[in-house]
Structure formats: C-alpha cells, structure tokens
C-alpha cells in the first residue's frame, strides 16, 4: 500500500529550542516524515500537553504558550477589511523571526510539503474582553463565553477570510489547516443524573452558543421564528442550569426517564431547528473562507483538522463542510490513552469521518506517540488507519513524543507494508 505523506506538526519554540535541522533529521529518519506544518496561530495551552515534562527538549522542561498568538508576519494589507488583526507574540525569545518562513525554507530544502495551522482560538481572551466583546458568542442568558467567536458575526467572517488569504498569498504553502472551535457545546450537569449521556449532551447544548444579535439576524434571514425558538429552548436551559425549581424538577424527571434523544427532538422541533441553524451557520463560514482562499491561490489545499469527539455539539456537520474543504485530518489520538480497549474508538471515529467525506477525499489519520502511548499501540494505530481507508499519516505531536514511539511509526509503516511516496495517486472509490 502507498501513502503519500507522513506529516509532522511543529511549534515555533520547538524550532528555537531544538533546531529545525535536528528535528527534521529525527523525523525523516524515524517516522518517514515528508511534510510539516507550523501551528502558526496557537491557543493558550501548556506544552507538552499530555505529560508533565518534555521528553527531549534540551532547553526547558515545560512551555506555557501565550494565548492566541501568531508566529508568522501578518501583512497589514491583508487585514484592510478586517477589524480584528492577529496578535503577535510578546515572548522576546520568539520575536523578530518569521517562524513560518523558517519552517518553509528548511522543509522545502528537503523536498517536503509545508502547511500552516490556525488552531482552536483565533482571538485572545484579553482582547476579546477589552476590544471585541461584540464578536464573542453569547449564551441564552446573554452572557459572553470567554473567547469563542461567533461565526455569524460579519467581522469574524472578514477576519477568517483575511487570515487564510494572508497565509495563502504571502507564503509558499501547500495547505492551510484549522481546528477552530465551533459553537460552544454547552454543558452537562452531573447532578441531573440519568443514564443517557447522549440525552444529557442534547439538553446541555441549550447552555451553549450562540444567541447573539448576529445569530438572531442570520436565523431570521432563514425564516426561523427566533423568539419562539429561544423561548422554548429557555425552558430546557432553565432546567439544565437549575435556574428555576420547576424547570429543574422537569429536567430531573426527563433525565431519570427512559425518554430518548429521538423522542425529545420529535417533541421539541425548536431544538432540532437550533441544531440545524448552528450547522448551517458553520457551513456558511467554511464556504466563505473556501471561496476566498481559492480565489487567492487556486492550488492550495484547505484542510480541516477534525478533532471533536461529538462534532454535532459544536455545530459541525462534516458531510456538509466537506464540500468546502479539500482534505480532512482526523485528529484522533487514542494511542495516548494507553489502553488497548480504547483503540476501537479510533476505528469507529475514522469510519465516521470516511462515511461523511466519501471515499475520494484525501484523509490523513493522526497517530499519537505521546505518553501513555506504547510502540505496540502506535503500530496498531497505523494498521487501523490503513484499514479505515486513510491516505496519509499525521503525527500529533513531535514535542511530547518519546523516542521509542517515534521509532515505532517508521517500524509500524514497514510492518504494515506501507510505502510513503509523495507521487502515489490518491486511490478513490471509483478507481481501479
């Protein structure tokens, strides 16, 4: 079997600390990596994510990332139509270097393909609170979520288009990828009890986003009776949040009952209308970006980093969105759970993705070499990826990977009989 790529993600501080040539030497030798991407806009997170300390960073044990900073050099003219601009790093160690260009130069020199990722959050909490409170999603009571931008806000649309076209126009990139957080998924209330987690998620979504004025306008343009829908959802939200005793009682009764999610949706069409509205909104956002970025650079690969366990809770319908992306990265890291019993989830998740995008779209399957992964689980993850119709492998992430699990990637490819060849054709459903 041929796969076209093994893709590795890197952060600016990885390159600073370990040196790009050293990193690429290791990745080429141990994992067959022939493609890289920079997490170019990175959210607030502790690195390494899944363990206390870095396994091989020679300069530090941990790194606390800044909130939603850009590690390329944004061109001001790209943001002339956008009120929101990307925020540069405040870390003196990282300032003054275009880390994306650094990665492109080093990767191209080895004949690798290169991409950039716009990660989960595109606006830092500080500016969200002080400068752009209007672009933040609102809950049903009008309260803003910390930094989750609303995809129906015209300024958010303009910002998304500007980010993508800036990267596509000014850098020699093969792909631009995102895993931006969708609509706030709401929350479950453990006190509410019940044995049906799906039903809990469904009622909990009424405490999610978004109920802002731009969503109202977008919904009304679609012919939705916003006030009627919100008032019906408010009863559920009051029950889940315990805001009123009567609604809380009724919610407890629902969750203690044998009522199914299907029955609830059939009985409350406003809840279904809300779910559809979020899906249509997010699809429209991706459609706008796709058209703009392809107008700027027709050959670029617009890639979705598909990470949510339950994407429907954030308004993502992968089948709809797949019309407006060129490839999908399945971001399942089951290996790092360290439990062979969890690998069945990886298989099911990949089946969900392939089912949604069809047999012809380029699908990259992630593999995690991080704690608690073992070489055996890494190899099993590669085999499952192949069995589930993946076209390429993508490593998440190098910074937290122990050497034995990195080596297991190359060994696992060999043992599964998978040859990495950039020029291998993508085998689709209709191909011989």
d(Cα 96, Cα 77) in Å, to the nearest integer? 19
Q: How many whole angstroms separate alpha carbon 123 and alpha carbon 144?
A: 14
Measured between alpha carbons, how far is 147 from 68 in angstroms, rounded to an integer?
10
Residue 52: Cβ-neighbour burial (10 angstroms; 0-12, 13-18, 19+): exposed
Q: Which residues contact 75 (CB under 8 A, 6 or more apart)?
A: 166, 169, 170
- Spatial CA neighbour of 207 closest among 182, 184, 190: 184
199 binds Zn ion (CB under 5 A): no
Q: Is 224 in the site for Zn ion (CB under 5 A)?
A: no
DSSP state of 11: -
218 touching Zn ion, by CB under 5 A:
no
Select from 44-52, 209-217, 251-259, 304-312 the region that touches Zn ion (CB under 5 A): 209-217
Strand partners, 88: 70
Q: Write down how long the chain is.
A: 432
- Provide, rounded to whole angstroms, the least separation between the CB of residue 173 and Zn ion: 30
Q: How far is the CB of 204 from Zn ion (least distance, A)?
A: 18
Binding mask 272-291 for Zn ion (x = CB under 5 A): --------------------
- Return the residues of window 103-122 that contact Zn ion according to CB under 5 A: none
CB of 182 to Zn ion, least distance (A): 12
Nearer to Zn ion, 34 or 137 (CB): 137
As measured in angstroms, the least distance from the Cβ of 3 to Zn ion is: 40
Shortest Cβ 283–Zn ion spacing (Å): 15
Residue placing its CB nearer to Zn ion in the complex, 210 or 248: 210
- Count of positions on this chain that bind Zn ion (CB under 5 A): 6
Nearer to Zn ion, 210 or 357 (CB): 210
Which residue of 215, 361, 378, 388 would you call a contact of Zn ion, by CB under 5 A? 215
For residue 150, state whether it binds Zn ion (rule: CB under 5 A): yes
Angle between helices 343-357 and 375-387 (to 10 degrees): 30
Work out the angle at residue 340's Cα, subtended by the Cα atoms of residues 329 and 348, and round it to the nearest 5 degrees.
Answer: 40
Interface region with Zn ion, contact rule CB under 5 A, candidates 39-47, 71-79, 142-150, 378-386: 142-150
Among 210, 275, 328, 390, binds Zn ion (CB under 5 A): 210
Question: Least distance (Å) from Zn ion to the CB of residue 211?
Answer: 7
Q: Which is nearer to Zn ion, 212 or 316 (CB)?
A: 212
Q: Which one of residues 179, 212, 316, 350 is an interface residue with Zn ion (CB under 5 A)?
A: 212
* Least distance from Zn ion to the Cβ atom of residue 136, Å: 9
Question: In terms of C-beta distances under 8 Å and separation of at least 24 residues, what long-range contacts does 92-98 make, across chains too?
Answer: 93/13, 93/16, 94/12, 94/13, 94/16, 97/12, 97/16, 98/72, 98/73
Mapped onto helix, strand or coil, the DSSP state of residue 46 is strand
- 422: closest CA among 19, 2, 11, 118? 2
Q: Applying CB under 5 A, which residues contact Zn ion?
A: 150, 152, 210, 212, 214-215
């Amino acid at each position: 079997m041929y796969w076209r790529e093994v893709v590795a993600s890197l952060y600016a501080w990885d390159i600073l600390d370990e040196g790009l040539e050293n990193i690429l030497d290791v990745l080429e030798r141990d994992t067959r990596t022939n493609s890289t991407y920079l997490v170019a806009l990175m959210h607030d997170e502790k690195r390494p994510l899944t363990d206390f300390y870095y396994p091989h960073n020679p300069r530090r044990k941990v790194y606390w990332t800044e909130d939603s900073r850009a590690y390329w050099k944004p061109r001001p003219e790209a943001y002339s139509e956008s009120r929101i601009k990307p925020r540069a790093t405040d870390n003196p160690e990282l300032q003054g270097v275009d880390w994306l260009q650094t990665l492109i130069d080093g990767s191209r020199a080895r004949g690798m393909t290169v991409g950039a990722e716009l990660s989960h959050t595109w606006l830092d909490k500080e500016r969200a609170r002080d400068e752009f409170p209007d672009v933040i999603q609102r809950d049903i009571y009008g309260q803003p979520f910390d930094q989750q931008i609303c995809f129906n806000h015209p300024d958010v649309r303009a910002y998304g288009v500007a980010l993508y076209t800036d990267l596509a126009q000014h850098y020699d990139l093969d792909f631009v990828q995102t895993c931006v957080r969708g609509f706030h998924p709401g929350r479950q209330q453990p006190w509410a009890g019940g044995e049906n987690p799906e039903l809990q998620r469904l009622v909990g979504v009424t405490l999610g986003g978004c109920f802002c004025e731009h969503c109202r306008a977008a919904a009304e343009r679609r012919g939705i009776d916003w006030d009627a829908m919100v008032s019906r959802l408010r009863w559920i939200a009051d029950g889940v949040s315990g805001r009123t005793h009567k609604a809380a009682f009724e919610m407890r009764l629902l969750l203690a009952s044998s009522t199914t999610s299907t029955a609830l949706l059939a009985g409350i069409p406003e809840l279904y209308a809300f779910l559809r509205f979020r899906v249509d909104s997010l699809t429209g956002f991706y459609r706008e970006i796709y058209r703009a970025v392809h107008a700027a650079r027709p050959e670029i690969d617009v890639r979705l980093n598909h990470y949510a366990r339950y994407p429907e809770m954030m308004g993502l319908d992968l089948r709809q969105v797949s019309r407006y992306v060129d490839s999908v990265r399945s971001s399942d890291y089951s290996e790092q759970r360290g439990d062979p019993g969890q690998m069945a989830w990886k298989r099911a998740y990949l089946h969900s993705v392939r089912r949604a995008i069809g047999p012809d779209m380029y699908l990259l399957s992630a593999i995690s070499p991080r704690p608690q992964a073992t070489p055996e689980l890494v190899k099993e993850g590669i085999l499952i990826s192949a069995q589930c119709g993946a076209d390429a492998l993508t490593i998440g992430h190098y910074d937290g990977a122990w050497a034995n699990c990195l080596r297991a990637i190359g060994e696992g490819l060999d043992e599964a009989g998978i040859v990495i060849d950039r020029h291998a054709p993508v085998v689709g459903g209709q191909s011989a």
